[in-house]
């Protein structure tokens, strides 16, 4: 199969969908790989690194138009919609619940679009979302500590405090992969951490992992509201696979938070879990809401592209091999997890939460194939 790797054009996006070692594996399996010139520069991979393992270095048009399968990191940007077509398979993060425009473009084109974030194993885990969730969670505490500095607009609170001075109060909403990794870093930096979730098993896991270093609370409305208002930093790490994130922190609650408090929304890819969240970029990551600071970058792992690219490709490469070996239809028939990743095919929305969010008809993927 001919596999295209375009350069990512989303603001601040420095990751690439394949590493040279992954290209080597695909070439060894008999596939042709077309890498857009400069696509790996942000992750410190030179064009010569890809040439050395047999990739063809091409322009953007060839990376899209001359290939049957295009692998990316982020959803197509408006400038890329013209490349979408019905005989193309696109494999990338889509996060369509937060983007009616991209959803419509995919539907109109007839492309088969498989989203990394909705590939789901029988145990409910999300193998292609997990590595980026872990990185985003770790970054959330780091950028939260940075944003709390006075020069960044924050309260001027040292995350871990010092002898005789209390540390920052950190609230993490959601104890999944992203939330747990945010807690890891926050605890390691010495913050006072309170974690919320609706799943008792996740809270028990945190208690076993951290003991009394982390307060674990069920996410009831009144208790969550009190903790948010008292917090120095709130990290939103809520995920509903394929669907828009629920709004759990209201505008009114933010208006009562401390001056210079910080809110980091990891869920912004799925629309955000704070009422006032709106997407930001690495170039301009924060904005004020009342007297608080919001951080809502939609591609947080792009801040550490070398690490993120390697982690992502380790997870996606087996699925890329499956699609390239036999085509997407045979691939999803053989792999139920991959089948759940199909969001759009043949002009139909095959991911029910996306269809529901945008008021579009839902068509099961089995009906599309038949």
Six-digit token string for 125: 């885990």
Cβ atoms of residues 291 and 232 within 8 Å: no
Contacts of 198 (CB under 8 A, 6+ apart): 218, 219
Give the sign of the dihedral formed by CA 252, CA 255, CA 258, CA 262: positive
From 25, 95, 181, 265, the catalytic residue: 95
Cβ atoms of residues 245 and 239 within 8 Å: yes
Give the sign of the dihedral formed by CA 5, CA 83, CA 129, CA 329: negative
CA distances from 168 to 150, 297, 299 (A): 14, 22, 25
User: Does the active-site annotation cover 358?
Assistant: no
Residue 34's φ and ψ, nearest 5 degrees, are: -110, 115
From 25, 232, 269, 276, the catalytic residue: 269
User: Does the active-site annotation cover 95?
Assistant: yes
Residue 169, SS3?
strand
- Residue 182: which of 200, 199, 159, 166 has the closest Cα? 159
- Residue 148: which of 194, 177, 182, 191 has the closest Cα? 191
d(CA 3, CA 366): 25
Q: State the catalytic residues.
A: 95, 269
């Amino acid at each position: 199969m001919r596999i295209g790797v375009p350069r990512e054009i989303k603001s601040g996006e420095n990751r690439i969908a394949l590493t040279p070692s992954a290209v080597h594996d695909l070439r060894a399996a008999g596939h042709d790989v077309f890498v857009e010139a400069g696509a790996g520069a942000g992750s410190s991979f030179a064009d010569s690194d890809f040439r050395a393992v047999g990739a063809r270095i091409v322009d953007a048009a060839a990376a899209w138009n001359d290939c049957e399968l295009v692998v990316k990191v982020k959803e197509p940007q408006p400038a890329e919609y013209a490349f979408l077509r019905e005989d193309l398979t696109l494999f990338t993060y889509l996060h369509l619940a937060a983007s009616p425009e991209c959803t419509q473009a995919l539907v109109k084109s007839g492309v088969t679009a498989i989203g990394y974030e909705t590939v789901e194993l029988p145990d409910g885990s999300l193998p292609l979302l997990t590595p980026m969730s872990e990185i985003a969670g770790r970054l959330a505490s780091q950028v939260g500590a940075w944003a709390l500095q006075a020069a960044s607009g924050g309260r001027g609170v040292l995350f871990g405090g010092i002898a005789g001075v209390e540390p920052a109060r950190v609230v993490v909403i959601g104890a999944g992969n992203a939330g747990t990794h945010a807690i890891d870093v926050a605890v390691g930096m010495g913050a006072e951490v309170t974690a919320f979730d609706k799943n008792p098993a996740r809270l028990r896991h945190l208690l076993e992992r951290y003991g009394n270093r982390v307060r674990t609370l069920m996410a009831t409305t009144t208790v969550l509201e009190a903790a948010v208002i008292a917090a120095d930093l709130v990290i939103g790490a809520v995920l509903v696979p394929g669907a828009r994130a629920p709004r759990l922190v209201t505008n009114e609650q933010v208006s009562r938070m401390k001056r210079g408090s910080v809110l980091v929304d990891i869920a912004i890819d799925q629309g955000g879990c704070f009422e006032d969240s709106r997407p930001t970029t690495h170039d301009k990551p924060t904005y004020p809401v009342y007297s608080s600071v919001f951080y809502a970058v939609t591609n947080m792992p792009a801040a550490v592209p070398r690490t993120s690219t390697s982690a992502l490709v380790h997870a996606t490469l087996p699925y890329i091999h499956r699609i390239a070996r036999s085509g997407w239809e045979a691939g999803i028939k053989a792999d139920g997890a991959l089948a759940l990743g199909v969001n759009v095919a043949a002009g139909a929305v095959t991911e029910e939460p996306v269809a529901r969010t945008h008021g579009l008809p839902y068509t099961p993927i089995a009906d599309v194939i038949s």
